[in-house]
Amino acid sequence: MRPAAREVITPRPKMSLTIPPGMAPVEFFNSPANLKNLAEENGLFRTPEDLLMYRKLIGHSVEFDTSIILDTSKRILDPLGRPVRRDQIQRKQKKIWNKMTRILIEYMLEKYPDPAEHLVLSGEACLDATWPLNKPGVPSIRMIHNHFMVFPNQNIESAKYANPNDQNLTDSGHHSLFLRHLSGVYNEFLEILDLQILQPISTVESCLKLTGYPQGLPSWEVKGGIEKLKDQYFWHEYEQVLLGFLDFYSTFFSLVSTGEPQVPPQANFPLQIGEVLLGSGRFRRVARDLREQVIKDPKFANEIRWRPAYKQLLYRDDKGRLIVTISQNSVGNAITELLGIVVKREENEEAYAAAEPALVGRLLEVRERFVDANLGEVIAAPSWPNGEFIPRS
């Protein structure tokens, strides 16, 4: 059996929301109506800092699947004015965000201790932060969020091979910029980071044996494992990885946009940008070629996200090591594709109903750890009004 991306079928219930006539699904799911549903119908826990944990009703996995979103929708009405990255959120919010992330990852690793049996991952991303403004449905949600999920390896192994050209795997073709054309300079640039806990590791060594992913991306092993997530310096380094990525992305797309090599005004590592990126003939040549493609191809141009959009993963590899990696977030792709898993959600009420009690039970179980840590208040959604699962009628 060769390593390759897989298409995992995940059952989902019938959608509980009705899309108004004439409204595209993507427009609706990025509307305030959907965010209201997240909190009222599927909300699990909310903190005073506006961090909302909720059940992913149409999610990635029925084994374990939840998200935390920074829900500033009632406090900041302008969707384009909301924070979408960890470097934009307040210090207190970030501290609680990190603590909730650690608690969830600790729970998943305790519940699923064997890397040969389960894939455990956490994926942080800006939620459609840079949706092209010339496309319909500019997101109303537009907030930073983090996914937490578990896949049984048996499900991945038995899944059919995914189409290698699936837009979810290729970022609609954009992934080739980082993986095929700029992998060398991308990795070289991120070597500038002064990291102590995060130790560089090749994706050849840390890739999953079932899928062979991630491919060619800069990756780091968390030396010291799960205990290091209690160290605030780990989160400092985790953010440094993001800041380096932002500089790379901003510099590249600024060059594509204007054709002029320049250091972005808000750069975190300006000297290294000048030396490593703008000093690279290949970096400038790929930007020039993309610029020409944007000018000639209106469909391709319509998909470009000019502002940094990212997905940053913390996952457990086959050897039980915690690995960090980061890539761009383009059109239509989800967090799992970095690990070679394309999730196809199929409406199957019976299959979802069979898995739902155990799934919700695990979410309520981990929620108790947030309660014990005195982080906020529980939400009594219809499916768990008193902290116990109630089947939908």
- Most confident range (mean pLDDT) of 42-56, 182-196, 297-311 is 42-56
Does residue 393 sit within a domain?
A: no
For residue 147, being part of any structural domain is answered with: yes
Q: Smallest Cα–Cα separation from 244: which of 298, 286, 191?
A: 191
Percent of the chain with pLDDT over 70: 92
User: Count of domains in the chain?
Assistant: 1
Assess if residue 168 is contained within a domain: yes
User: The tokens of 325 are what?
Assistant: 């990696």
- What tokens does 363 get? 């979410």
pLDDT in tens, 128-146: 555 665 666 666 677 888 9
Predicted confidence band of residue 183 (pLDDT cuts 50, 70, 90) = confident
Residue-level pLDDT at 172:
54
Mean pLDDT estimate for the chain = 89
**Is pLDDT of 322 > 80?**
yes
**What mean pLDDT comes out for the span 319-335?**
80
Q: Is residue 16 part of a domain?
A: yes
For residue 182, is pLDDT > 50? yes
Q: Give me the domain span that covers residue 271.
A: 6-378
Look at residue 223 and tell me if it is in a domain. Answer: yes
Pairing, β 118-126 against β 144-152: antiparallel
Residue 190: how many other CB atoms lie within 10 Å: 24
Find the range with the poorest average confidence among 184-188, 248-252, 358-362: 184-188
- Residue 150 belongs to a domain: yes
* Residue 386 belongs to a domain: no
* Weakest mean pLDDT among 31-35, 187-191, 310-314: 31-35
Structure tokens at 289: 């070629």
Structure tokens at 88: 């934009």
With pLDDT > 90 as the criterion, what percentage of the chain qualifies?
A: 65
Segment 17-58, tens digit of pLDDT: 788 888 877 777 777 777 888 889 999 999 999 999 999 988
For residue 391, being part of any structural domain is answered with no
Strand positions, DSSP E, the chain: 6-12, 43-46, 51-55, 64-70, 118-126, 144-152, 160-161, 198-201, 219-222, 310-316, 322-328, 341-347, 377-378
* Beta-strand relationship, 341-347 and 6-12: parallel
Average the pLDDT over 218-240 and give the result. 96
